Structure 1
Amino acid sequence: MAQEHGAGTGSVRVDSWIWCVRLTKSRSLAATACRAGHVRVNGERVKPAQTVKVGDEVRLFHAGRERVVVVAELLLKRVGPPLAAKAYVDNSPPPPPKEDALALGVRDRGTGRPTKRERRDLERLHGQRRG
């Protein structure tokens, strides 16, 4: 089964592998993350064409959270989520709880721009302004 989807042994481009195991939605997003310095392989910043091997640690900062994975299988083609999950060992820290995201001041959609009073209240809530 590994031969059907994967490269078996050898190496694969890091941007391609990140996309194949569904850590990013597109290969271009993976390549952009590499160029921006958001991808590290074994602690080193990498370019999109850098290769990964089985056993390498890949750190990706994407969508507001850090993913830390160890390459378990090399893939050449994008596969479904169950097969993609078997291609790496996920050592990522847990995502932040949903309550923290909801604690921020949230305005109802379509209510327009905040008034001066509402803006000051939001700034005070975020800790930007003391008053």
Structure 2
Amino acid sequence: MRIDKYLWCVRYYKTRNMVTEACKKNHVTVNGQVAKPSKEVFPTDKVTFRKDQITQIITVLDVPENRVAAKLVDMYRRNDTPAETYQHLELLKLSKEHYRKNGTGRPTKKDRRDIDEFGNEIGIESQENE
């Protein structure tokens, strides 16, 4: 089975076009070699691809006939991605939320003054004061 169809069948990508784009950007490798979308995969192949800022590593256990249900995905692949990569992704999400909550919009004048005042307290001068 083609690598683009396989990754689509085991539900890592929503569309085959997304897998094709990832292959063209050299984000997908099979057994350590960069894969084109038409690369054939077989059981025991190790597939590595970059998605959502983490590098996923999976081992092909079997090749499905067509797209499978989410509950049946584990029959066709084994996820060898280290646990710390998922923890790193969680830290990235938390760090983005820490600075500014989603949906709060642009900083107000008061927010801007507070930011400038905080920068002055720790010794960072604003570019406007130069």
Bin of the TM-score, shorter chain as denominator length: 0.7 to 0.9
Following superposition, the deviation at residue 111 of structure 1 comes to 2.9
Whether 1:16 aligns to 2:16 is no
Match of 2:128? none
Match of 2:43? 54
RMSD over aligned Cα atoms: 2.6
Following superposition, the deviation at residue 106 of structure 1 comes to 2.0
Whether 1:106 aligns to 2:94 is no
Query: Structure 2 matches for 1:1-131, cutoff 5 A?
Result: 12-94=1-83, 95-96=86-87, 98-104=90-96, 105-113=99-107, 115=112, 118=115, 131=124
Distance 1:108 1:54, change over 3 A: closer
Distance in 2, matches of 1:80 and 1:87, equals 11
Cα displacement string for residues 52-111 of structure 1 (whole angstroms, at most 9, x for unaligned residues): 011100001111211101100102311101211210111012202535531341245143
Distance in 2, matches of 1:85 and 1:49, equals 23
The amino acid across from 1:96 in the alignment is: Q
Distance 1:108 1:70, change over 3 A: closer
Corresponding residue pairs, total: 113
Distance in 2, matches of 1:84 and 1:63, equals 19
Counting helix residues as a fraction of each chain, which structure ranks higher?
A: 2
Note the residue ranges of structure 2 that are not aligned, 5 or more in a row: 125-130
**SS in structure 2 of the partner of residue 82 of structure 1:** helix
